[in-house]
A and B are shown apart, each in its own frame.
Chain A
Amino acid sequence: MTRVRLTDHLVLILGVLLMMGPLVVAFLTSTHDHVEIHREGMQFTLGAEFAETYATVLTREGGFTGEITGLLMTQNSLILGIGFAVGKIVISMLAAYAIVYYRFPLGTFFFWVIFSTLLLPLEVRILPSYEVAQQLGLLNSYTGLIVPLIASATGTFFFRQFFKSVPDELLEAARIDGAGPVRFFFEILVPLSRTMIAAIFIIMFVVGWNQYLWPTIMTTEEQYFTLVRGIKNVMQQMIGADIPFYNEALAMAVLAMLPPAVVILVFQRMFIKGLVEQEK
């Protein structure tokens, strides 16, 4: 029995090295000077330039317009992450409420329309989606960044499943007490769904923060760049340079991964619950 445990620990330690190693090396390298990195390769020790590099990346006004800083990009990423999560939760809760708590002729039809969105991931309709956004004048705006992404079948299914599991007696009791649909929703259903909402919020925040393709084609003005979107430009600047600023590029990568990583770390149990439940 003990021998088995030892192999398990060995497997897990190798696994941790495999998963965390690249991240640790990326972070350590970002604390070194770029000439040193160029000369000696990626670094496995903590360098002396941590404060300087990160301060530069966060506050220096860069890009072509000289308007964009790491802080501004972080702010845009937060707007996208939170807007995406809140938007998804609100519209899918409303839709699920209608589907579960009302009997109406087109109910099934709407359910299948929502279902059809699973068949149309953004990647397969990218060019026409861009054209639609362009015609509506949504390019380079937060609305254009967030709204097209928030229609969600998974969110609606998730809440539909949960609402179905809420006992009918609650609604009957609420009715006897004279509560209408609006009061029932806000005073009974929403409080009951609190953990569900929190779990799905965490997942959606991470997914929203990590959006890449849509922000890449939607935002051409740098003031709307998110961190993840900005990674592409960092890369392009690196290709052209004699001695690329590896340290700053990696610092940007660390900044882009830090908030979702912290969220997952802090709310780990809820995150796993949300992830596993959502796909069912």
Chain B
Amino acid sequence: MKKAQFNSRWMPYALLMPQMAIIGIFFLWPAAEAIRSSFYLEDPFFGTGTFVGFENYSNVLTDPNYRRSAVFTAAFTLTVVFVSLGLGLLFAVSADRVLRGQQTYKTLLMWVYAIAPPVAGLIGVMLFDQHIGPLTDAAAAIGWNLQIGVDYWDTAVAITVVSAWKQIPYNFIFFLSALQSIPSSVKEAAAIDCRSETRRFWTVTFPLLAPMTFFLMILNTTYALFETFGTVDLMVQDQPGNSPVTLVYKVYRDGFRGNDLGGSAAQSVILMVLVLVLTIAQFRLIERRVHYS
């Protein structure tokens, strides 16, 4: 807490006004509305609702489509998190070690961060296209007839690949800055004690990166769950019926296309609980890190 502060009855409230107004109108009100309508069966055309208790929730949770989508989302999230973390770490470790050309590598490896998920999705659709896609040709060379937009699993693979690719630079940047903040005295001491670079990495460097890795896991999970919306939207090419979709995409589709307001709201609330858990996990980690450093 600051020792020196100003005193004013109204000034702090005036300063907080813009932020609070936006939060109230565009965060709290819609969230309350989502919670309320998750307990109602609403008629989208007449705006009338009947209270149905937890029926929307039980409908959602017993719906085979929802389960299918939840299973896909879980597998998708795990794959995206581990692939992008692994490759981000691999590139960061190498980039940290080289002397010549480090800056160039760094720039080229982080550039994809700038690309919006739907733009990545569009490029992905082209690369996996059945007529013009070089990746489809490459798959055909090993006897895999890749058909995105037609085959459920092929589309799932393509969406996962593009989403993981898009997230690599993010992990690369964080890992590289963590590696570069390891004091050189630690690195030198380790180098004297252990000649094997690989062993040194796993026994000294990697444990030092562990808090950052856990932290990134949570950020990556949030990315895979929410920010991939654009990628999914582009890559299912308007035929989401038989394509793999994430839970977030399903909220959007059931609400806007399917007009199932109550069901969509119940799905929103389920996701809110998920974000709550993730945020608590994230803040516990930060506290712990601050505590020990």
Using a CB–CB cutoff of 8 Å, the interface residues on chain A facing chain B are 4-5, 7-9, 11-12, 15-16, 18-20, 22-23, 25-26, 29, 37-38, 40-42, 90-92, 94-95, 97-104, 106-107, 110, 113-114, 116-121, 123-133, 136, 147-148, 150-152, 156, 164, 168, 171-172, 175, 181, 206, 209-213, 216-217, 228, 231-232, 234-236, 239, 246, 249-250, 253, 256-257, 260-261, 263-265, 268, 272, 275-276, 279-280
Contacts and interface: CB of A to CB of B under 8 A. Distances in A.
B15 A103 contact: no
Interface majority SS (helix, strand, loop, mixed), chain B: helix
A18 B33 CA distance: 44
Nearest to A254: B119
Nearest to B215: A279
27 contacts: A8-B95, A8-B98, A12-B98, A12-B109, A23-B112, A23-B123, A38-B131, A42-B133, A91-B18, A94-B18, A116-B27, A117-B23, A124-B31, A126-B268, A128-B29, A129-B26, A147-B22, A175-B4, A212-B117, A216-B233, A235-B238, A246-B126, A246-B132, A253-B122, A265-B111, A272-B177, A280-B286
A110 B28 CA distance: 13
A5 B264 CA distance: 53
B30 A250 contact: no
Contact of A120 (B27, B137, B168): B27
B116 A209 contact: yes
B87 interface: yes
Contacts of A151: 19, 22-23, 26-27
Interface string B227-268: 001100110011000000000100110011000010011001
B22 to A, nearest CB: 4
A5 B20 CA distance: 53
A151 B25 CA distance: 10
Given A20-B111, A125-B34, A128-B268, 4 more contacts: A15-B109, A19-B168, A124-B271, A128-B265
B19 A37 contact: no
Interface residues of B, number: 94
B100 to A, nearest CB: 8
Contacts of A23: 111-112, 115, 123
Contacts of A90: 18
A16 B108 contact: yes
Contacts of B169: 19
Contacts of A276: 173-174, 177
A98 B275 contact: no
Contacts of B133: 41-42
B87 to A, nearest CB: 7
Which 5 pairs between the two chains have the least Cβ-Cβ distance? Answer: A128-B30, A210-B116, A98-B15, A128-B33, A260-B114
Contacts of A118: 275, 279
Nearest to A20: B108
Given A114-B23, A123-B248, A265-B111, A107 B12 contact: yes
Contact of B252 (A16, A126, A152, A260): A126
Contacts of A128: 29-31, 33-34, 37, 265, 268
